Amino acid sequence: ESVPASLVTPLKVSDGTQEFEHSGEKMVVGWGSTDEECMVYDTLLRKADVPFGSDGPECASEGSKTITPKDDYDVNSQCCAGDYHKNMHYPGCGDSGGPLLAKEGDSWTQVGMVSWSYGIPYPDVFTRVSYFKEWIDQTIEELMAAGENEAIKAYGPGAQSAYAQ
């Protein structure tokens, strides 16, 4: 079933400067597997609220084991979220590339993308989009100027892009 365009709004992409992006609850969404064996998939978009992990050199989240730089964790380009001792939902097979979102007021900002995990009891690791924001902005600008990508155009009066800077 399709969704009316009036219900779809662009996300902001984190530039890493807002305090709300670095702590508190975040939301991850996706169509990934809903079971441990990665055999059951749903046609519904699912969401899970997850606590943001530490913003230090290690990926640490209360109640979870720690992932360190020797485990290929890079605090500059990655962030982490999740606490599996609270029986929380978390990204599963097929959720890779999905957004990690922070809410401030009535707007949402994408702070991460599902990347990888060691599984329970470790937090999940996300690509930190603020690390790539300059590249994202430049790429979208180039595509818009060349008229090469209809996917980034929004529809409606005065719309220039589905990408909110």
Encoded tokens for 164: 């909110």
pTM above 0.85, yes or no: no
Q: Which residues contact 160 (CB under 8 A, 6 or more apart)?
A: 144, 153, 154
How is domain 12-131 classified at the CATH fold level? Answer: Thrombin, subunit H (2.40.10)
Q: What is the per-residue pLDDT across 84-126, written as a single tens digit (0 to 9) for each? A: 666 566 788 889 999 999 998 888 899 999 999 887 778 889 9
Q: What is the per-residue pLDDT across 32-60, written as a single tens digit (0 to 9) for each? A: 888 888 898 888 888 888 888 777 777 77
Instruction: Indicate if the alpha-carbon torsion angle 141, 150, 102, 115 is positive or negative.
Output: negative
Tell me the sheet residues that pair with 114.
126
Q: Domain residues of the chain, as ranges? A: 12-131
